Amino acid sequence: MTDTPQSSRLSDQATLRYSVEDFLYAECELLDAWRLPEWYALFAEDAVYEITTPGMDDPDGANPDIDLFLVADDSERLRQRTIRLGKKTAYVESPRSTLSHLISNVRAAPQPDGLVTVRARFIVHRSRGDEIVHFFGHVHYRLRPQDDTFKIVSKRCILDFNSLTHQGKLAILL
Amino acid sequence: MTRAGSFLDIDHARASFRVHRDAYRDPEVFAREMKLIFERCWLYLGHASEVDKPGDYATRCVAQRDIIFMHTRAEGVHAFYNTCTHRGVTLCRDKRGSAKVLTCPYHGWVFNTSGQWMNTEAEKYPASFNSDGRYNLRRVERLEEYRGFYFVNFDQNAVSLKDYLAGAAELLDLIADQSPAGLTLIGQPHEYSIPANYKYLAENSFDAYHGVPTHSSYFEFLNTRLGDSEQQARLDEIMKDYAKGGLGAGLGNGHGLFEGWLPNGKPVASWIPPWGPEAKVEIDRIRRELKERFGEARMKRICDHQKNVVIFPNLVINDHVAITIRSFQPEGVDRMRVTAWAAGPKDELRMMRKIRLDNFLTFLGPAGFATPDDNEMLALAQRGASHTPVEWIDFSRDMPTDPSVDMLTSRGAWTDEHQLRAYWLRWDQMMNGTSGGLNR
């Protein structure tokens, strides 16, 4: 049986989603294992990594240049963040939390500029000592296809709750 | 059994100043604090820029009371208890908004923005029903403003806010004066919690002693930012003897501050190389403008000095890498809720606003490079207090041996503990029923 144009499109979509999911699962694995330099290496040189402030107006569209985020790192500060979190003197994560990053509901779409935009939902379970907290929400990625995999050009995590009153702080990476 | 009398153990001969740990761990002490301190002190409510226009309002909880912070349509800014006068239901459920009237979700009772009950059912309620105003929203006992900062007091007989602020008022001036256009809050605040007694955060907020040990990972980051610059050379010089980097002082009535001069960049207005040459032009312009208005010395104090001010009992204003207004509400003896707003000049250029927010997120906030480590220390302090029988904790660094020194206003290096002793002395006075004439 030969491919019709429609089934070819379906197959392209399935392939794209498979490769994106595979990439995101690998990212989750690195974060759970605290392999921070390897995680940082997933990002492009001009990347941004953002977490919006719970309860802010329009977190999907907000601009960190004029609005208060929780995290709005350029590539260099993200590198510094991973370096800091690797130190014993980053007391909030020393000893380290045990993390479980889950990602689901993945939708990937190729863009005319060659990038792939991704929407997904995430849950991160964090435990340390007797403490257990959960972070959940949705995430927007822009990925640049490169050498059979991707580089993260931007990642914006939107926490779908109204304050950090329950979690206290967000010192881990999402 | 709850401790009676003073919680302090002051021994001038030994230069020792200790606080009994029951102050942090005894639920009965907490209940007394809510009466003797939180019902008598001026407590931060909000900033004028939150309720800019008539009808604008914000709701929040202050000292376990739900309050509506309202710019009325007829008579300026007021604060009401957020409860309907019919069945007591929480009236206003939005965190912020603009209202023509407030309508209770339960039975539909309506109030205008001045809190007056509106009779929408004249056939059921006679004209005399509210003739004495008993069905109007209840106003918070006192509401006063200083330089755009609004405070409430639940004691009708408290002295004025200005008198209460004492030496802390000048620090609010130094922030409010940063631009002729005034100050505004930026976006929505960070809201988080810390599993610790609220007083641990007050202490931590103007304690420069912990700066280097707790935040070494922040200073290492700063070193990478400054590179091979004049600022780095100055920072290196200060880090050789960190105590010389600033002063600490009690400001009267339990308030206090530390004030430092680290060259780590301040949006108004101290430049560092990573901000680039364009920012330097703007920073130089701001410095000239401030010098014209206030002279060289005050300009330098506004621009080059980091100030962490604690306004007794539960407000911190940081004016260093960025401006934060941090109010913390005790929710029990071992838990507090923190709301931290970013603020900046209303007319700040977009380039400088970006730098300010960048700076804020680098150091501050529950996902910053420093604040989470503070929160960890506070939780560990609470753990120590709650789970060991050890009674005393210490605030003796540079304690005066001369008993005639007024510890509410004494001063020293920023890494000393003058400002912390001032806070505790005031706290202890109020817990023993005296308020130094601040409540009639």
For strands A116-128 and A98-110, give the pairing: antiparallel
Can you tell me the distance from the alpha carbon of B27 to that of B195, in angstroms, rounded to the nearest whole number?
A: 14
A174, part of any domain: no
Kindly state the tokens that stand for A122.
């995430």
Q: Where are the domains of chain B?
A: 43-153, 167-431
The identity of residue A103, as a single letter, is I
Q: What's chain B's Rg over C-alpha atoms?
A: 23
pLDDT score, position B264: 85
Q: Of B187, B224, B354, which has the smallest distance from its Cβ to A53's Cβ?
A: B187
Out of B20-34, B51-65, B213-227, B272-286, least confident range: B213-227
Nearest CA in chain A to B337: A165
Can you tell me the distance from the alpha carbon of A73 to that of B30, in angstroms, rounded to the nearest whole number?
A: 40
Residue B435 has pLDDT above 80, yes or no: no
Can you tell me the distance from the alpha carbon of A160 to that of A51, in angstroms, rounded to the nearest whole number?
A: 11
pLDDT score, position B222: 81
% of chain B exceeding 90 in pLDDT: 84
pLDDT classification of A2: cutoffs 50, 70, 90: low
pLDDT in tens, A18-56: 999 999 999 999 999 999 999 999 999 999 999 999 999
pLDDT classification of B194: cutoffs 50, 70, 90: very high
A100, part of any domain: yes
The mean per-residue pLDDT over the stretch A117-138 comes to 97
Residue B438 has pLDDT above 80, yes or no: no
Kindly state the tokens that stand for A73.
């790192």
Contacts of B195 in chain A (CB under 8 A): 168
Residue A63 has pLDDT above 60, yes or no: yes
Can you tell me the distance from the alpha carbon of A36 to that of A159, in angstroms, rounded to the nearest whole number?
A: 22
Residue B436 has pLDDT above 70, yes or no: no
In the 8-state DSSP scheme, what is residue B375? H
Q: What is the DSSP string of B47-101?
A: EGGGG-STTEEEEEEETTEEEEEEE-SSSSEEEEESS-TTT------SSEEE-SE
Q: Which domain holds residue A144?
A: 5-159
Q: What is the DSSP string of B263-329?
A: -S-BTTTB--GGGHHHHHHHHHHHHHHHHHHHHHHHHHHHHH-EEEEEETTTEEEEESSSEEEEEEE
pLDDT score, position A164: 96
* Cα A51–Cα A53–Cα A59 angle in degrees, nearest 5: 80
pLDDT classification of A4: cutoffs 50, 70, 90: low
HEC string of B205-221 equals HCCHHHHHHHCHHHHHH
For strands A149-159 and A43-51, give the pairing: parallel
Number of domains in chain A: 1
pLDDT in tens, B129-151: 999 999 999 999 999 999 999 99
Residue B1 has pLDDT above 70, yes or no: no
The mean per-residue pLDDT over the stretch B189-210 comes to 96
pLDDT in tens, B398-426: 999 999 999 999 999 999 999 999 999 99
Residue B345 has pLDDT above 90, yes or no: yes
A169, part of any domain: no
In the 8-state DSSP scheme, what is residue B439? B
- Identify the CATH number of the domain in which residue A154 sits: 3.10.450.50
pLDDT score, position B33: 96
Residue A7 has pLDDT above 80, yes or no: no
pLDDT classification of B238: cutoffs 50, 70, 90: confident
pLDDT score, position B225: 81
A68, part of any domain: yes
pLDDT classification of B3: cutoffs 50, 70, 90: confident
A86, part of any domain: yes
Residues 6+ apart with CB under 8 A from B162: B144, B146, B169
pLDDT score, position B363: 81
The mean per-residue pLDDT over the stretch B247-251 comes to 96
pLDDT score, position B377: 95
Residue B304 has pLDDT above 60, yes or no: yes
pLDDT classification of B226: cutoffs 50, 70, 90: confident
Backbone dihedral region for residue B295 (phi beyond 0: left; psi -120 to 50: alpha; all else: beta): left
pLDDT score, position B174: 96
CB contact under 8 A, B188 and A55: yes
pLDDT score, position A3: 54
Strands laid side by side in the B43-47 sheet: B43-47, B149-153, B142-146
Task: Provide the shortest C-alpha distance from residue A113 to chain B (in Å).
Answer: 27
pLDDT score, position B434: 81
Query: In this predicted model, which residue has the larger pLDDT, B438 or B59?
Result: B59
* Cα B126–Cα B128–Cα B132 angle in degrees, nearest 5: 140
Whether CATH 3.90.380.10 fits B167-431: yes
A168, part of any domain: no
For B132-146, b where at least 16 C-beta lie within 10 A, e where not — what string?
eeebbbeebebbbbb
pLDDT score, position B440: 65
CB contact under 8 A, B372 and A92: yes
Contacts of A90 in chain B (CB under 8 A): 217, 373
Kindly state the tokens that stand for A21.
């999911």
pLDDT in tens, B30-47: 999 999 999 999 999 999
Highest CATH level, class, for B43-153? mainly beta
pLDDT in tens, B205-219: 999 899 888 988 888
pLDDT score, position A152: 98
The mean per-residue pLDDT over the stretch B81-110 comes to 97
Residue A140 has pLDDT above 90, yes or no: yes
CB contact under 8 A, A92 and B369: no
pLDDT classification of B365: cutoffs 50, 70, 90: confident
A165 touches chain B (CB under 8 A): yes
pLDDT score, position B175: 96
Mean confidence (pLDDT) of chain B: 94
CB contact under 8 A, B357 and A65: yes
Contacts of A83 in chain B (CB under 8 A): 221
Residue A128 has pLDDT above 90, yes or no: yes
Q: Decide: B188 and B339 in contact? Cβ < 8 Å.
A: no
**Chain B residues with at least one Cβ partner in A under 8 Å:** 95, 186-195, 214, 216-218, 220-221, 224, 337, 342, 350, 353-354, 357-358, 360-362, 365-367, 369, 371-373, 375-377
Quickly count: other Cβ atoms within 10 Å of residue B329's Cβ.
20
pLDDT score, position B403: 93
pLDDT score, position A20: 97
